[in-house]
Structures are given as structure tokens and as C-alpha cells.
């Protein structure tokens, strides 16, 4: 069965007349498993596909169907999207976009290529390689994506011609874009990066029709800036109250407070809420952020999961995982929306594997934390998350004093903190399989030494203030796990060693498989039951992209970007050698240079 993009009205050349309502369009396109219609597969961020042609018994026969070199080096995150016989593919900086006609099974044709001209001075203000994980979104005949320099671009999806462009931030101040763009209703919502440069970050909504700004919600600042309703926005079951953010910062520090929003977003159409996380407070030297009393202070709403209404931006609830961060445990990791029986009750939850090493199962309607357990065994910076509602520390991690880089103080090297700054999981998204009801988690098994130091703020200059070394946990040589997780119980079901951190996003399918890439350049298929490797094949370069699948001409394809880079691959991507360069990533992943070099390629596998 040959299906064309026309079937989705994508190629209709009629002008946009009425306000676009993305939901139905996106839901329809992503409900058809032949498509991979959005970065996360669907609004709920499951990264699960109903396609089952490739299954446990035949996956060993997968072979490279075709490949496409993107013409760009450095880290390739995210994935293409596919609707009908068209694929849209994005690259890291300079953020080229291609439309491919994939109707020919032996190889694609390039229909158009969009090559933005961006000022390369944005490159040095991108903290963690020139990546773009947010990729492209499609709604109606409009293709929307964000560039590194924060330009939000809408193209005619069929012709590649510009419809409108708007600028979300200023790279001269360290504001960049690598993360999500989410199309919901008549809006596109966009995150921002910059917490390593003292940017006060936000999410901002633009109208799809014309690119005008609809609302902006900062991560910190006055209530009207952060779009909370003091009476109605909840945190841990209670209204956040007036000045919930301002109260938790010393003086004006919130103005350079960080809280980047560079991960993925998910959306619950029934609740009409979208979910995303905020990153670290700036700087990484916690001493500089102490409260007026010289003690820890929360720095809200950094390190927070927000549930917001996409029409107004107003928050329904907020939950801060790591108050007063002292380790760069950005809270930006994706939130996967599932309905689970937790403690015997059917709950609408989100599941979130935080950088801080705890996996949270949270009621997604009100923000109540149901489960919070470490998803790797070496976590040592906190004893647990206090879930006793009557406790003074309700909802908070209980920090181990010896691992507190604040208590140890500046210019003291806090040794052996696990996880490392890049978390037990970083940008690489997990997958949820409804077949098993379990989560498939690409894990960094990494610890660190962390030495904060005094740093002063200059716009557009790094505002980090810490020296890091990273390394595997004691007694281990590998820095990765592939972990299967029960989010209702908060338990590891299976755990497999990986030589390097799995910096690539997982895909699960109705074929009973879980797919992912590896930094050393393998594409792997695993059994959803147990996680055993059923297939592995060497890609041209290390992969930090997300596995995806689609069907075309009756054939299932499973694909992934290779192109090593990101924070883990920054040594290769930016040509750095010193072990503490790249905030410690260079030393930790030095072994990668025995396996792979740069180069962006899309590889698409199929059965013979």
C-alpha cells in the first residue's frame, strides 16, 4: 500500500484561512503508526510505535536500507519526522532542513533543502555542542523549528519557502536554542537554553498563523513573569502563594537565574496541560546563590517540572525536584504521560527520570509525587526523597552532607558524587511500552568530583564557576546502563551494562523491541522482556540521536541519526583534550576516540 503525504492534506496548496488547531492534526498524523509525525512519536512522549513487522524473531535480519549524509559534522540529536512518503530532516547548527521523498525503497530524493544563514558566533555560547534535539514539527502545511540562534522559523512544508520568522532571544547574551518546539492548539511553544551563561530562561508561545508572540513564562521572577496563579497553581498539593519564586532568591539574582528549558515537552489533550522541566540555577557555585541568611534557599522555579495551560501559559502545578541545586542536576528531562495503577489506584501520571538520579512518578493532574526512587544503584548525594506528607521536608531530597558542594564550600573539591552533573540520564529520552507497562531507560552510570569557585557575571560569558572530573562509579569501568524500569513500583526490573553512557533516545515497538544507539556507534535492538540484545550494527559515527520508525510501501523502517557529539561527545565534537574540559566530560568519555569520529548520517534499516 503506497501512502502519500497528500492523504494528510499536507500537499494541499490552499492558503491558511482559519486559525490552525494543531491538536487534531497532530493527533491524527501521529495516531497513524505508518508516520513518525513528531519528535516524540506522540504527545504523550511514549516513543512507542504500533508497527510490528520487525519483531523479536526477524530483527536479526535487519539491514541498512539506505542512508543520508546530512552534510554537517558534530552532534546529531533528535530524529527526522515522517508523514506519508515525505521525511523532514534537521541538522545541528547551521540547522539545515531537508524534505526527502522516501517513496523509492532504495533511496530518497531531496525535494528541498533550507539553509539558514546564522551568525557562527552562536557556537561558542552553546554550552554542550551545536545540537538541536527539538527538530521539526509539522502542523497542517506548516513546518516549524527553532534555530541555534533562537530564531523560530515557519516554512511551507511542501516547498520549503519561508512563511514567517521570529526571534526568541539574543545569542549575544548567551540565549540559544537546542530543545523543544511543541505545536499545540493554535500555538507553538518553544524552550530556551542559557543557564551556563546566566540567562533567565523561559518558555514562550507564538501563534502558528503569523509568528506573533502569545505569552512567555519565565522559570523565575515575579508572578506575572512566571505565569503562576498564587491561589490556583499547586505545588505538592498546596497553592504556591504570592511571590513563590522571588522569595527564594537573594536580591536580584533571579534576573540571571538560569532555569533553562532545553528538554522535550509532552502534552495531555484531555487535561489541556503541557509538561516540561527547568534546568539549573546559575551559577554552578552554590555559595554565590546562598540565601540572605547564608543558608540554602530554593531558587524556585529552577529544577522544576511545570504543568501549564498551552493557551494561556498559566501553570496548573509545579514541582521542584532539586531545590538549591549544588550539582547541575537540570530538571529538564522529559515527562512521559501514562495511565498506571499506583498503589492499587488508577492514576494519570507522568514519569520523569531526573538528572538527580531519582525517577519520579507524579500525578499529572495535580503534581502529587507518588513514587521517587533511584534508577541506578550508585546514587549517593541524597538518601531518599521524602514522601511523607506530614514532614517538613515533604517532597524534597534528603541531601548527604558530605556530598553537598555548598556545605563543603567553594574551592573545595567535593569528591565522588553520584550521579555526575550529567545525571543518570541527560537529554536522551526514555521510551514507554504499553506491551509491558515498563520504561526503557538509557542511563549514564557516572560519578564526579565537583569543585565550585567564585565567578562573576558578564552577559554572553560563561557563568559556571565549577571544575569537574567525571568517571564511572567505584569498581566499574563502564559508564552506561540500559535499564528497564517499573514506574508504579519505582524499581529496576532489568539492567544491562553498556560500555559508554547511552546518550541516544529509545524507541519501543509493538514488535516487542526496544531500539537505541550508542556513543561508540552501534544501533541496537533489545527484547522488551529482559532487555537482551537481539541485534547490533555499527553506524558510521557514534549516535546521540533518537531511534524512530515508520512504514512506507508496506515496509517497516527503523532509523536513527549517527553523528557523535553532545555533552558526552564534546571532546570529539569541539576538539578538546584536557580531561576537565567540557566540564569533565572530556576525561570521562576519552575512550570514545578509539571508536568513532564526527559526521552526521541518517541510517534507515529494514528487513530484506
Q: How far is the CB of 133 from a copy of itself (least distance, A)?
A: 20
The owner of cell 549517527 is: 562
**465 burial type by CB count under 10 A (0-12 exposed, 13-18 middle, 19+ buried):** buried
When asked if residue 92 is in the footprint of ligand PQQ (CB under 6 A), the reply is no
Angle value at C-alpha 479, between 476 and 480, nearest 5 degrees: 115
Asked if 504 contacts 517 with a C-beta cutoff of 8 angstroms, the reply is yes
Q: Which stretch binds ligand PQQ (CB under 6 A): 81-89, 124-132, 138-146, 432-440?
A: 124-132
Residue 133 counted as an annotated binding residue: yes
Stretch that binds ligand PQQ, among 126-134, 163-171, 221-229, 460-468 (CB under 6 A): 126-134
Nearest residue to ligand PQQ on Cβ basis? 566
Q: Quick one: which segment of 268-276, 420-428, 513-521, 550-558 binds ligand PQQ (CB under 6 A)?
A: 420-428
Task: Clarify whether 328 is annotated catalytic.
Answer: yes
Q: Is 328 annotated as a binding residue?
A: yes
Selecting among 268, 328, 330, 354, the annotated active-site residue is 328
Q: Which candidate, 179, 128, 127, places its Cα nearest to that of 568? A: 128
422 binds, among a copy of itself, ligand PQQ, none (CB under 5 to 8 A by kind): ligand PQQ
DSSP string, 253-307: GGGG-B----S--EEETTTTEEEEE--PBS-S-GGGG--TTSS----TTTTEEEE
Nearer to ligand PQQ, 258 or 599 (CB): 258
Distance CA 474, CA 456 (A): 35
Quick one: cell of 505? 533516545
Q: Would you say 281 and 289 are in contact if contact means Cβ atoms under 8 Å apart?
A: yes
Q: Which of 540, 559, 565, 571 binds a copy of itself (CB under 8 A)?
A: 540
Please tell me whether residue 259 binds a copy of itself under the rule CB under 8 A.
no
Q: Is 522 in the site for a copy of itself (CB under 8 A)?
A: yes
Binding flag, residue 35, ligand PQQ (CB under 6 A)? no
449 annotated binding-site participant: no
> Residue 110 binds what, of a copy of itself, ligand PQQ, none (CB under 5 to 8 Å, by partner type)?
a copy of itself
Chain centre distance of CA 286? 25
CA–CA distance from 467 to each of 327, 414, 459, 464 (Å)?
Answer: 11, 10, 21, 9
298 lines the binding site for ligand PQQ (CB under 6 A): no
Nearer to ligand PQQ, 31 or 167 (CB): 167
CB of 326 to ligand PQQ, least distance (A): 14
Residues in the chain: 608
Does residue 178 touch ligand PQQ according to CB under 6 A?
A: yes
Q: Which three cell numbers stand for residue 160?
A: 520549503
In the bound complex, what is the minimum distance in angstroms from residue 133's beta carbon to ligand PQQ?
A: 6
- Please tell me whether 590 is known to bind a ligand: no
Write the DSSP symbol of residue 247.
G
Q: Exactly one of 506, 539, 547, 558 binds a copy of itself (CB under 8 A); which one?
A: 539
Annotated binding site for pyrroloquinoline quinone: 77, 133, 178, 194-195
Q: Among all residues, which ones are annotated catalytic?
A: 328
Amino acid at each position: 500500500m503506497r501512502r502519500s503525504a497528500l492523504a494528510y492534506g499536507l500537499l494541499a496548496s490552499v492558503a491558511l484561512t482559519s486559525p490552525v488547531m494543531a491538536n487534531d492534526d497532530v493527533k491524527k498524523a501521529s495516531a497513524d503508526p505508518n508516520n513518525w509525525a513528531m519528535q516524540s512519536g506522540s504527545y504523550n512522549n511514549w516513543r512507542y510505535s504500533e508497527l510490528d513487522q520487525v519483531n523479536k524473531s526477524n530483527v536479526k535480519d535487519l539491514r541498512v536500507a539506505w542512508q543520508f549524509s546530512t552534510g554537517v559534522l558534530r552532534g546529531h540529536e533528535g530524529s527526522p519526522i515522517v508523514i506519508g512518503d515525505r521525511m523532514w530532516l534537521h541538522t545541528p547548527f547551521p540547522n539545515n532542513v531537508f524534505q526527502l521523498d522516501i517513496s523509492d525503497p532504495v533511496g530518497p530524493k531531496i525535494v528541498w533543502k533550507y539553509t539558514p544563514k546564522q551568525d557562527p558566533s552562536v557556537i561558542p555560547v552553546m554550552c554542550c555542542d551545536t545540537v538541536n534535539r527539538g527538530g521539526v514539527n509539522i502542523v497542517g502545511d506548516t513546518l516549524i523549528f527553532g534555530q541555534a540562534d533562537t530564531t523560530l522559523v515557519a516554512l511551507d512544508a511542501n516547498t520549503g519557502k519561508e512563511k514567517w520568522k521570529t526571534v526568541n532571544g539574543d545569542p549575544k547574551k548567551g540565549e540559544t536554542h537546542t530543545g523543544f518546539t511543541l505545536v499545540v492548539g493554535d500555538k507553538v511553544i518553544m524552550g530556551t537554553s542559557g543557564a551556563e551563561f546566566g540567562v533567565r530562561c523561559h518558555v514562550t508561545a507564538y501563534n502558528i498563523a503569523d509568528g506573533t508572540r502569545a505569552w512567555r513564562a519565565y522559570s523565575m521572577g515575579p508572578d506575572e513573569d512566571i505565569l503562576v496563579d498564587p491561589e490556583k497553581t499547586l505545588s505538592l498539593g498546596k497553592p504556591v502563594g504570592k511571590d513563590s519564586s522571588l522569595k527564594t532568591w537573594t536580591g536580584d539574582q533571579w534576573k540571571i537565574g538560569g532555569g533553562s528549558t532545553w528538554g522535550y515537552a509532552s502534552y495531555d489533550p484531555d487535561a489541556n496541560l503541557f509538561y516540561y522541566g527547568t534546568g539549573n540555577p546559575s551559577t554552578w557555585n552554590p555559595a554565590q546563590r546562598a540565601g540572605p541568611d547564608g543558608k540554602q534557599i530554593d531558587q524556585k522555579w529552577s529544577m522544576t517540572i511545570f504543568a501549564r495551560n498551552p493557551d494561556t501559559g498559566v501553570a496548573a502545578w509545579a514541582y521542584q525536584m532539586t531545590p538549591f541545586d549544588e550539582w547541575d542536576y537540570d530538571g529538564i528531562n522529559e515527562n512521559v504521560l501514562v495511565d498506571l495503577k499506583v498503589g492499587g489506584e488508577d492514576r494519570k501520571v507522568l514519569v520523569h527520570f531526573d538528572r538527580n538520579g531519582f525517577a519520579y512518578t507524579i500525578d499529572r493532574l495535580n503534581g502529587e509525587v507518588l513514587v521517587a526512587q533511584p534508577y541506578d544503584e550508585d546514587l549517593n548525594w541524597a538518601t531518599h526523597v521524602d514522601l511523607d506528607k506530614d514532614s517538613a521536608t515533604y517532597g524534597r531530597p534528603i541531601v548527604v552532607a558530605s556530598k553537598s558542594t555548598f556545605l563543603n564550600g567553594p574551592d573545595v573539591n567535593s569528591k565522588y558524587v553520584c550521579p555526575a552533573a550529567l545525571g543518570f540520564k541527560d537529554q536522551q529520552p526514555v521510551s514507554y511500552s504499553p506491551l509491558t507497562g515498563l520504561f526503557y531507560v538509557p542511563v549514564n552510570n557516572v560519578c564526579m568530583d565537583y569543585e565550585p569557585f567564585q565567578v562573576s557575571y558578564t552577559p554572553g560569558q560563561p557563568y559556571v564557576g565549577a571544575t569537574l572530573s567525571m568517571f564511572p562509579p567505584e569498581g566499574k569501568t563502564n559508564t552506561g546502563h540500559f535499564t528497564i524500569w517499573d514506574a508504579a513500583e519505582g524499581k529496576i526490573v532489568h539492567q544491562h551494562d553498556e560500555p559508554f553512557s547511552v546518550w541516544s533516545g529509545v524507541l519501543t515497538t509493538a514488535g516487542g523491541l526496544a531500539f537505541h544507539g550508542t556513543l561508540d556507534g552501534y544501533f541496537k535492538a533489545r527484547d522488551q522482556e529482559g532487555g537482551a540484545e537481539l541485534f547490533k550494527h555499527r553506524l558510521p559515527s557514534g549516535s546521540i540521536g533518537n531511534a524512530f520508525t515508520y512504514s512506507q510501501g508496506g515496509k517497516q523502517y527503523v532509523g536513527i541519526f549517527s553523528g557523535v557529539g553532545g555533552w558526552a561527545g564534546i571532546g570529539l565534537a569541539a576538539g578538546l583534550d584536557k580531561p576537565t574540559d567540557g566540564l569533565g566530560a572530556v576525561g570521562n568519555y576519552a575512550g570514545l576516540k578509539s571508536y568513532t569520529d564526527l559526521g552526521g548520517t541518517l541510517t534507515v534499516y529494514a528487513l530484506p
